[in-house]
Structure 1
Amino acid sequence: MTALEKQQKKISVIIPVYNAEKYIRETLDSIIKQSYKNLEIILIDNGSKDRSPDIIQKYEAKYPEIHMIEGSGKGPGASRNRGLKLAKGDYIVFADADDYLPDKDIFCKYINLAEQTDADIVVSNYARLWKDKILPATKHQSFALCSPSSEEFRFQGFFSVGTLSYAWGKLYRREFLRNHQIYFADLSYAEDKLFNMQCYICDAKYAFLEDIGYIYRKNDMSVSWQYRPDSVENWFKLVYELKSWIEKKDKDPKEYTSLIGYLLIFAAFFDGKMEYMQHKKSLWAVRKVLKKYGSNPMGRKAFTELADRRKKLQITQKLWKIMIRTFSLGMKWRWYLLMSVGIKILVSCRVDERLSDTGIRKK
């Protein structure tokens, strides 16, 4: 395919917006300056109370490829769905209104790799912006060469490295999403994790780009970093949606048992940590939330299966193996207070940060 033919492939960039006046200019400038010009940029404003709509309207008047529409106020997932239904591009890129693209050629690189490999999803590396410092995240090379059906690919892709979980930092083939009717579920948060797991279950073909294609700004006001009393319910809703999707696509549920198990372990640890931080380091608050996970039938089943020593965990990282087996065993036997102490120790020693995608961060 010639360079001209590739430029004829349109990319639809979909950006949910809510009170983003501080960063939206930087976001839009990084997209407008892309060397790949066949774009449409769809911004869905979710009832911003600041000057975001005014700023976007000025860009819209200057750049014909920019279109702002009014959202439903139901969150980023609903906004992305609105954008997907309006998009006319051959490919889809999602971005958040407070992030930016560091490489002006990243769309060209996405298109080139997608067309060369016939990929449904092209995944780039990314970095996080933390207190004005760029922290490169763990690169996807650690799992990109693994078979997509392998435990290693799933565990690292969606959990320990996590690159596959996010809607941003990727190029999606619109035809693939449309053919499989993949949209964002109505969740309080983590809807992008479910979206990408649904893509995975539909046997998406992946291609991996080594370049850093996205800068994610850690925003303390983001729902991903805020305490939410309904978090346990949200995670179980996600799990039930995922289970329903597996059945809908006529897949063998046994093939995805570990995927659901890992999801619940990470969710339980995350919620335990958030309860610990929110309630003045109260172990009883952590115990209460862990009990919710352990009392749920799907949670009990998942923890029991992962605790079964007869089943070998097919992942290479020894520390993760030990932590998953120990956590599962504790949840299986309802040692909630002991597990709460374990979470306290891990958080106090910042082990959770050491195992995160960017490693330990300076305060």
Structure 2
Amino acid sequence: MENKTLSVVVPVYNGVNCIKDCLDALLNQTYQELEIIVVNDGSDDETLDILNEYAKKDFRINVFSRSNMGVSATRNEGISHAKGDYIFFCDADDYPEPDLAERYVQAINEWENSDMSLICCGMFFDNRYNKNVKNKKCLLESAYGFVEGENYLISRAAASTLAWLKMFNFVTNKCYNLNFIKENDIKFDRNINIGEDLRFNLDYLDKCSGNIGVINKCLYHYVKRTGDSLSITYHADDLEDTKYIYRRFINWITAQKGVTEENILVVKSIYINDWVCRLSSMYEASLKRKTANTKDKLSKELKSKEFQTTLKEIYAAKKISTLRYVCLRTGMFQIFYFFRGIYQFMKG
């Protein structure tokens, strides 16, 4: 195997309960040519002590500390310090399989003379919050002829399929060309709270014309540790940020060579789902804070031409259930939210 150094950036904030598992998994990789850059984002617990302890044990760990600025700014700092040939990202509360780095390097060597932009791998979704919920595996499906463990070079238009399978919108299951990132000044947008991973991927692919390499094996564990079953923390700009990034994603997928109507509809269905998630977050926040005019805002969003047109399109394509469609089509958001809450509770 041709030697290549992989840089891995690990942003961490108050990670005393998880950072050891993450670092142990990185240090125990079967491929050892790693540069592990851990950026402490202003932790006020014992995280930094743990990081310094690990750095003394292994020269590959480089620790940097900064005031709290959020995950995007922290990843950007990690990129600025990285010196490897390729780079991947690992969140402090997640962890990789032992052969993640090795499989990345094998794929890089396999596609070195091919038109390849980035490499993506399958993901485990581990639910440690609710032990009654089974862990999930997300990878290209055998029903469509894909074999688990094999490598595939797929078209950019197939990013819609990866997004549907929860494999595209993340950065933590991907390996990127570090020099390309630096030469093109590609950074995470530190001014948004949502969709920063998807925006980074589109920024990267906008500047890189190659196809997408897929290692069809789950190599990264995304770990759910808290009970955020109904919604994520709501920020005032989340809704507009979501609409911006999905409009861009739809325009991007539409422009790809060989794109089909199905590819576009898949992205639109994900758009509606995330749009509704943001509305649910807004609604939930209003219940807690008794915010005025939320009902009017919800009604305006649901009645908007863009929402209604996209909703009709995905319903015609059978990408949304009739119950969800009717509730959203007629503006019965409270009923929709009630049933969504039951579903999310059961899902954990």
What is the TM-score with the length of structure 1 in the denominator? 0.74
In structure 1, runs of 5+ residues without a counterpart are 354-359
Which residue does 2:62 correspond to in 1?
67
* Structure 1 Cα separation of the partners of residues 29 and 334 of structure 2: 48
Letter in structure 1 aligned against 2:117: D
Letter in structure 1 aligned against 2:11: P
Which residue does 1:127 correspond to in 2?
124
In 2, are the aligned partners of 1:93 and 1:171 still within 8 Å (CA)? yes
Q: CA deviation at 1:258?
A: 5.8
Q: CA deviation at 1:198?
A: 3.0
Q: Does 1:27 align with 2:22?
A: yes
Which residue does 1:178 correspond to in 2?
182
Distance 1:30 1:285, change over 3 A: farther
Q: CA deviation at 1:88?
A: 0.8
Which residue does 1:51 correspond to in 2?
46
Distance 1:204 1:302, change over 3 A: farther
In structure 2, runs of 5+ residues without a counterpart are 147-151
Letter in structure 2 aligned against 1:344: F
Q: Deviations over 1:218-262 (max 9, x none)?
A: 1328899533142xx2241354367679999xx69xx89768744
* Matching residue within 241, 244, 259 for 1:237: 241
| SS in structure 1 of the partner of residue 95 of structure 2 | coil
* Matching residue within 220, 225, 230 for 2:226: 220
Q: Does 1:161 align with 2:165?
A: yes
In 1, are the aligned partners of 2:169 and 2:198 still within 8 Å (CA)? yes
Q: CA deviation at 1:100?
A: 1.2
Q: CA deviation at 1:97?
A: 0.7
Q: How does 1:79-228 map to 2 (within 5 A)?
A: 79-101=74-96, 103-118=97-112, 119-131=116-128, 135-141=135-141, 148-150=155-157, 153-158=158-163, 160-186=164-190, 187-201=192-206, 202-220=208-226, 226-228=232-234
Q: How many residues align?
A: 323
Letter in structure 2 aligned against 1:141: E
| SS in structure 1 of the partner of residue 187 of structure 2 | coil
* Structure 1 Cα separation of the partners of residues 293 and 226 of structure 2: 22
In 2, are the aligned partners of 1:23 and 1:98 still within 8 Å (CA)? yes
In 1, are the aligned partners of 2:195 and 2:241 still within 8 Å (CA)? no
* Structure 1 Cα separation of the partners of residues 126 and 5 of structure 2: 29
In 1, are the aligned partners of 2:73 and 2:188 still within 8 Å (CA)? yes
Q: Does 1:345 align with 2:339?
A: yes
Which residue does 2:5 correspond to in 1?
10
* Structure 2 Cα separation of the partners of residues 328 and 269 of structure 1: 11
Q: How does 1:246-285 map to 2 (within 5 A)?
A: 261-262=268-269, 264-275=271-282, 279=287
Q: CA deviation at 1:178?
A: 3.4
Which residue does 1:357 correspond to in 2?
none
In 2, are the aligned partners of 1:165 and 1:196 still within 8 Å (CA)? yes
In 2, are the aligned partners of 1:260 and 1:302 still within 8 Å (CA)? no
* Structure 2 Cα separation of the partners of residues 33 and 242 of structure 1: 37
In 2, are the aligned partners of 1:194 and 1:238 still within 8 Å (CA)? no
Higher relative contact order (CA 8 A, sep 6+): 2
In 1, are the aligned partners of 2:99 and 2:219 still within 8 Å (CA)? no
* Structure 1 Cα separation of the partners of residues 197 and 228 of structure 2: 14
In 1, are the aligned partners of 2:117 and 2:212 still within 8 Å (CA)? yes
| SS in structure 1 of the partner of residue 72 of structure 2 | helix
Distance 1:91 1:147, change over 3 A: closer
Q: Does 1:293 align with 2:298?
A: no
| SS in structure 1 of the partner of residue 138 of structure 2 | coil
* Structure 2 Cα separation of the partners of residues 339 and 265 of structure 1: 14
In 1, are the aligned partners of 2:160 and 2:264 still within 8 Å (CA)? no
Q: Does 1:326 align with 2:325?
A: yes
| SS in structure 2 of the partner of residue 165 of structure 1 | coil
Q: Deviations over 1:306-327 (max 9, x none)?
A: 5359x975xxxx3x25569937
Distance 1:129 1:10, change over 3 A: same
Q: Deviations over 1:140-160 (max 9, x none)?
A: 33788796354xx344322x3
